[in-house]
Amino acid sequence: MEDFEFVSPTHFVFGHNAESKVGPMLAERGARKVLLHYGGQSAIKSGLIDRVCASLEQVGIEYVKLGGVRPNPEIGLVREGVALCKENGVDWVLAVGGGSVVDSAKAIANGACIDYDVWELITKKYPNTEVLPIAVVLTIPAAGSEASKNTVISNDELGMKTGYASNYQRPKLAFMNPELTFTLPPFQTAAGITDMFCHLLERFFDDVGAVPVTDGMNLSVMRTIRAEAPRVLAEPENYDARANIMWAGMLCHQGLLGMGRHEDWATHGLEHELSAYDTTVTHGAGLACLFPAWMEYVYDANPARFAQYGYEVFGLAPTGDIESDALSAIDETRMFFASLGMPISLGELGLDEDNIEDAIAEMIPTLRENKGEPFGSFKKLTMEDAAEIYRLAL
């Protein structure tokens, strides 16, 4: 087991009508004026934004609204939020939505406390200990941003998407009501499940040997996701299934399930370039195409690790041929994503042999800038390796 530090300051309020407690709990923590940050129209049409506003008004908390967060949140709206916070004396940022909204809120909370452009903070990875406190009303279980130390922001002008990690931007409060996820479209539900499952894969596959406590928890959550995913898709208003998926999504990216490991994160790096190249690509869909391709490319570095994953997550029986068992585990992963309705080739996302080389030529420079070279920990990868994985995913 590797040395580690772990911080988890988030106070979770989980269950029925959790969002009704937003105002009182923020008031207890001294909030006076919040930036209410959200995405498109669904949170408005459902009445959620009105309920959250009413909860704030009941305890005398003022608020400034900023909607319009898109998937792959963009730096332009972040800058707008930073300006609103500074102009209005905002002391908390309240995100209502999924991972994109929470990521945008984190960037705003950082930018509101610095005297230079927030994009410079994100790209230069400067340390920043002064961050506005963040609360979350989660509506889409996927990214785990409601408790993680990470944010990922896109810059359309530069064609770049990059992450920033800091324990100071972990949300202080997370309100998690599974009922808010009942109306999620099947594709969005499936993409979220794929993303959280891939968060576990990034942590399970690295260059560290067995870490029994961490590995056991990781594998257990993988099995739970596999069991609950078909139930959620078949019965979208099944409270228990939605609750298990929502809580799993948080655990997948909070950090606990990677303790003592180096973690890999090569595939997330590859996907960030893909969804920066084409901002219509949903993150989970991109991962569904790229993760099996990465697996096929690197498994020979430690086929026993892949075989163990196959035995414990998919219930595969050992055949006595570790390499064959590893490949079977990869096949099962691809079939699992397909069973959710996810694309499993870049061709399904509009890339083919005619345009893949142009796409690779555009993605590789920013991949190198974001990840460095070599990158990954399970198997160290070069930019040439990255190009081959993109090709393998066609």
- pLDDT of 1 reads 84
Task: State pLDDT tens for residues 260-278.
Answer: 999 999 999 999 999 999 9
Listed residues 181, 202, 227: the one ending a domain: 181
| Residue 352 in tokens | 């083919």
Cα–Cα dist 233/214, whole Å? 29
- Decide: helix, strand or coil at residue 247: helix
pLDDT tens digit sequence for 82-140: 999 999 999 999 999 999 999 999 999 999 999 999 999 999 999 999 999 999 999 99
Q: Is the pLDDT of residue 239 over 90?
A: yes
Last-in-domain residue among 148, 181, 214: 181
Cα(174)–Cα(18) distance, integer angstroms: 9
Would the pLDDT of 164 be above 90?
yes
Q: Do 29 and 135 contact (CB within 8 A), yes or no?
A: no
**Residue-level pLDDT at 159:** 87
Per the structure, how many domains does the chain have? 2
In the prediction, which pLDDT does 141 show?
93
Pairing state of beta strands 160-165 and 150-155? antiparallel
Contact at 8 Å (CB) between 74 and 82? no
Q: Which of 142, 159, 181 is the last residue of a domain?
A: 181
Residue 160 lies in a domain: yes
Q: What's the CA gap between 78 and 241, in Å, rounded? A: 34
Q: Check residue 373 and give its pLDDT.
A: 95
Domain holding 284, by residue range, is 186-392
- Same domain? 166 vs 192: no
d(CA 149, CA 131): 12
CA-to-CA separations, 257 to 196, 197, 305, in angstroms, rounded: 12, 12, 16
Beta bridge partners of 231: none
Dump pLDDT digits (tens) for 176-207. Answer: 999 999 999 999 999 999 999 999 999 999 99
Question: What is the reported pLDDT for 7?
Answer: 80
Sheet of strand 134-138: strand arrangement: 11-14, 173-176, 134-138, 92-97, 33-38, 62-66
pLDDT of residue 2: 85
What mean pLDDT value characterizes the chain?
96
Cis before residue 71, ω within 30 degrees of 0?
Answer: no
Instruction: Mark whether 163 and 207 lie in a shared domain.
Output: no
Asked whether the predicted pLDDT for residue 385 surpasses 90, the reply is yes
**Residue 114 confidence (pLDDT):** 97
Residue 1, domain member (yes or no) = no
Contact predicate 371/269, CB 8 Å: yes
Residue 41 has pLDDT above 90, yes or no: no
Q: Please indicate, yes or no, whether residues 255 and 317 belong to a single structural domain of this protein.
A: yes
In angstroms, what CA-CA distances link 220 with 90, 192, 217, 284, 316?
Answer: 41, 18, 5, 21, 15
Q: Report which of 124, 52, 122, 125 is spatially closest to residue 92, judged by C-alpha positions.
A: 52
Average pLDDT over residues 363-375: 95
Given a cut of 90, whether residue 50 has pLDDT beyond it is yes
Predicted structure pTM score: 0.93
In a domain, 3, yes or no: no
How do beta strands 134-138 and 92-97 pair? parallel
For 134, phi then psi, to 5°, come to -120, 135
Is 4 domain-assigned?
Answer: no
Q: What CATH code is carried by the domain that includes residue 211?
A: 1.20.1090.10
